[in-house]
Amino acid sequence: MILDKFLKRKDNQDNISEMSYRRVGISLGASWSWGVSMIATIAFMYTYGIIPALVWVLGNILAMPLFGYIKVKIRGFEKWINFIPLILFSLFIAAMAIIMNMQALLIGLGGGHDVASFHFLNNSYSVPYIIFFSLAILLFIYKYGLRGSALSDLGYYSLQIFAVVLLAVSSVIISNLTINPSLQLLTEVGIKWVFPLGLLGIITGVFTDPMMWQRFEQKEDQIKLSLWGSFWFGLYMIFVVLTGLFFKPTLFLGILLLIVIFALATSTIGSAIAAMQYLTKKIGIGKTPGLIIAFIAITTWPYLMELGMAKIWNIYAGYRWKVVASMLVISLIGQYIIKKEYQEKIISFMKKIKLFYKYEQ
């Protein structure tokens, strides 16, 4: 009886339309931050150089406003999230979000080999803890849905901002205003990453991110929402960059880094699980398969963790920009070349062959 009461899901837990743009924007900023953002920025600086890292940051800040603008200006673009192949690709993106944020938690605890941090736990202890913790988030989202994710994001974002500001200031003080001598402006590997497609691959990230689609569907003014989300994310990233420039692995900074990563990863893992339910319901198979896919992602992470964050990120981002470029080209063709009556016939045909699914909330 007690277990049934605990597991019983409350009604209307996926509706956040009554929340203000500022609050939903905070949820966007927290969900888009990822535990990866802190680690990846520092790792990018060491591997690719300071300039590629700044390109990475700028692309991520501009991604949401670009998404909001295109959703408004290109007629019918919002229908892409009902296209079955994109839904399946977005499920892959959500699964990778879970895996990468679990990897970020491992790095925060001192495991992995991407960024030198203080060693808190051996992998034999930290890996089971991270799996258990991620499964606890899965149960939370099962019960409280998108609403629980968005409401909790305010707390996670407040914690991440407080910790990252303290982390940045402390890094600057401990380093005596000396940029880490290991950093270069631009490495040979960085040149290959930035030119010609590095920024393109980053700035298109939101377009295939189901966490973003799910939240944007809740509000009417897409551009206003995108600017709020970009503002909260950009505010956080300013201090991430400062941390990356001056960071050194000490116990105090390691604790602060762990706090930031904990807040980021918890928020994004929860958002990704909620998005998986959103996607599987869109294709008419209910929310339970979304939870099952999330469970699979959580339990298979240990088999990928030895790859390191950079390689896992490349698996995630390698073909993303190509998918988005195809979406934009087809949408522009549909808007300016194909007549409206033919557009409707094409969509009707795709529905018949089960490539397009119209989901009503």
Q: pLDDT tens across 94-111, in order?
A: 998 899 899 888 888 876
Q: For residue 130, tell me if it sits in a domain.
A: yes
- Helices within the chain (DSSP H only): 2-7, 21-47, 50-73, 84-108, 123-174, 188-194, 198-203, 210-216, 222-246, 251-282, 288-300, 309-317, 320-336, 340-352
Q: For residue 359, tell me if it sits in a domain.
A: no
Q: For residue 109, tell me if it sits in a domain.
A: yes
As a whole number, mean pLDDT of residues 23-48 equals 86
pLDDT band at 258 (very low <50, low <70, confident <90, very high): confident
Q: For residue 19, tell me if it sits in a domain.
A: no
pLDDT of amino acid 181: 83
Q: For residue 50, tell me if it sits in a domain.
A: yes
Q: For residue 302, tell me if it sits in a domain.
A: yes
> Structural domain of residue 231, as residue ranges?
26-352
Q: Kindly tell me the burial class for residue 339, based on how many C-beta atoms sit within 10 Å of its own C-beta (0-12, 13-18, 19 or more).
A: exposed
pLDDT band at 11 (very low <50, low <70, confident <90, very high): low
338, pLDDT greater than 90: no
pLDDT of amino acid 344: 64
Q: Which position has the higher pLDDT, 191 or 292?
A: 292
Percent of the chain with pLDDT over 70: 78
> Into how many domains does the chain fold?
1
pLDDT of amino acid 242: 93
pLDDT of amino acid 3: 47
Q: For residue 14, tell me if it sits in a domain.
A: no
What is this structure's pTM?
Answer: 0.85
pLDDT of amino acid 253: 81
Tokens of 191: 């040149």
pLDDT band at 115 (very low <50, low <70, confident <90, very high): low
Q: For residue 190, tell me if it sits in a domain.
A: yes
CA dihedral in degrees (162, 168, 169, 173; nearest 10)?
Answer: 150
User: Using an 8 Å Cβ cutoff, are 68 and 271 in contact?
Assistant: no
**With b meaning 16 or more CB within 10 Å and e meaning fewer, what string describes 145-164?**
bbbbbbebbeebbebbbebb
Q: What confidence tens digit (pLDDT) does each residue in 47-59 have?
A: 888 988 888 889 8
Tokens of 49: 């150089």
